[in-house]
Structure 1
Amino acid sequence: MTETNPATRSPWLINDDHHVELSCGACNATLDLADPASGVSALCFDGHAVEGALWRVTLGERPQLAESYARGADLVAVYDPTEGFPFRTRLVWECEALDRGVRLTLTCSVQTHLLDTSPQLGVASDLGAELIDAEQRDADAGAMPLGARWLCRGGAAGVACFEAAHPADLSGALIEPLGAEGRRSLGTAFLEKGVICCGRLVALVLPPDARLADALPHYERFVAAELPLTT
């Protein structure tokens, strides 16, 4: 079931139940909700196209999209449990235009009817990962929040993209540190029946000359925000 976009100019436009177009400030992108592993792709910022994708979410081999809708700044997709991934999964993307960029957030929540489970889902990003100035990266190392990184930044990319996990989820082992391929693992060692497990990510799409000082105020606002409702 898919609700139509409200007349309040949602940045998300859903076509054919699952193909989504994003238009927010200077940022445009696409998503295929039937294939969350394709991520937020075809990203274009201020006329600059960026290769790769942001937040490729793995929900087993054949995720079953049960419901999708746009509600204001939010895009919501709900997936039924499958044999390979026996969890009801809810993904919520939120987009907000900033003075000099765009803020995207992703909230992943899982719930199960089983008694003893250990849900794990992967979230990977390969958004221009090779387009990072090494000197700038090293200069930021001491002040970079735990679980944060630049996906791309500099003139070659035409854009800067800062990504971070919520520190509360990191401390609760819901989002593990990045692996060698930039893949995050969201989950928990034990999930009780009926309990909702959440993980949150933020991405800031900014001009190529952005510095960590430009990203941190928006990151701190993300950290201070209340956990969205997931029922």
Structure 2
Amino acid sequence: MWNLSADLAHWKSADLALTIDLKRPEHGLQSLAINGDPIDACLLQIIPPGRSESRPETVIDAYPRGRDLVATYAQTPQRTVRPQAYWSPGSDAGFCSIEITLSMQSSLLQSTPQTEVCSRFSADCGPTQLLDLGGQSVERPGPNVAFVRQISELHRYAQFALPADYAGAAIDDASGSIWRHRFFPDSLEKGVIRRCRLLGVLFTVKTPLNQLTEHLQAWVAAPPRLAT
């Protein structure tokens, strides 16, 4: 369940623990551990448009709703949209997942909503694999392609984006230690709400990759979580 303390949101369940600094969504998941195993990686860093590293975000509203954590951020002169983020942790059949839904709207006639979700790993964690939903290896990142790599002695991590409002993906660094997913390639008009969804999955190194693709297929087929 979620516990909010000032600007920090803490999730703790039987197998997953993490912290989110709501004013610093670009820091991603902090104090992350799965089944007590600390994860030394910066996962699911949300970098909204107009983000300034020198100042924290202005949080308009933040609240837990079941296993969802919802945060709404201000529209500013540097950013012509009002972002809203949903973090939704969950566990199923040996997989610990964190779903992110990003929602964008604006009070202006035209705005630029481009947003990036980034994950960073130690260079010695191992190579990145790319798998399609059929479990086949592919050479290029894209929508419906899972990025997979080992991130600790016991666990692997996968990141997967749906095609809706997908703008592109990249693996930076020769070791593949930085993953970037970009969203909202087009301009946004007043009165329109745009959304994208991305899933991060933690699982043991003993779990066959075909079980991961089955887990992702089930997530794709399931109805999206309620967004406001």
Please tell me the TM-score bracket, short chain as reference: 0.7 to 0.9
- Alignment match, 2:175: none
Identity, % of aligned pairs?
Answer: 24
Question: Which amino acid is 2:146 matched to?
Answer: A
- Alignment match, 2:4: 14
How far the C-alpha of 1:146 sits from its partner, in A, is 3.5
- TM-aligned CA distance change 1:129 to 1:50, over 3 Å: farther
- Alignment match, 1:226: 223
* Matched ranges for 1:41-190 at <5 A: 41-59=30-48, 60-61=51-52, 62=55, 63-128=57-122, 130-132=124-126, 141-142=137-138, 146-150=144-148, 152-153=149-150, 156-166=152-162, 168-169=163-164, 172=165, 174-180=166-172, 181-190=178-187
- TM-aligned CA distance change 1:121 to 1:137, over 3 Å: closer
Native 8 Å contact 1:25 1:97 kept in 2:
no
Native 8 Å contact 1:34 1:64 kept in 2:
yes
How far the C-alpha of 1:50 sits from its partner, in A, is 1.3
Aligned length: 213
SS at match of 1:76: strand
Q: Aligned to 2:26, which of 21, 37, 43?
A: 37
Question: Which amino acid is 1:88 matched to?
Answer: R
How far the C-alpha of 1:88 sits from its partner, in A, is 1.2
- Alignment match, 1:28: 17
Question: RMSD in angstroms over aligned alpha carbons?
Answer: 2.5
How far the C-alpha of 1:129 sits from its partner, in A, is 6.0
Which stretch of the first structure deviates more once superposed, 31-40 or 179-188?
179-188
For residues 39 and 116 of structure 2, the distance between their equivalents in structure 1, rounded to whole angstroms, comes to 22
Native 8 Å contact 1:24 1:95 kept in 2:
no
Question: Which amino acid is 2:73 matched to?
Answer: Y
Quick check: which one's strand share is greater? 2
- TM-aligned CA distance change 1:25 to 1:161, over 3 Å: farther
How far the C-alpha of 1:165 sits from its partner, in A, is 0.2
Native 8 Å contact 1:43 1:49 kept in 2:
yes
How far the C-alpha of 1:12 sits from its partner, in A, is 1.4
For residues 73 and 127 of structure 1, the distance between their equivalents in structure 2, rounded to whole angstroms, comes to 26
Q: TM-score, normalised by structure 1?
A: 0.82
How far the C-alpha of 1:128 sits from its partner, in A, is 4.6
For residues 131 and 179 of structure 1, the distance between their equivalents in structure 2, rounded to whole angstroms, comes to 14
For residues 132 and 209 of structure 1, the distance between their equivalents in structure 2, rounded to whole angstroms, comes to 15
Native 8 Å contact 1:26 1:101 kept in 2:
no
How far the C-alpha of 1:118 sits from its partner, in A, is 2.5
- TM-aligned CA distance change 1:42 to 1:129, over 3 Å: farther
Which consecutive residues of structure 1, in runs of 5 or more, have no partner in the other structure?
Answer: 1-10
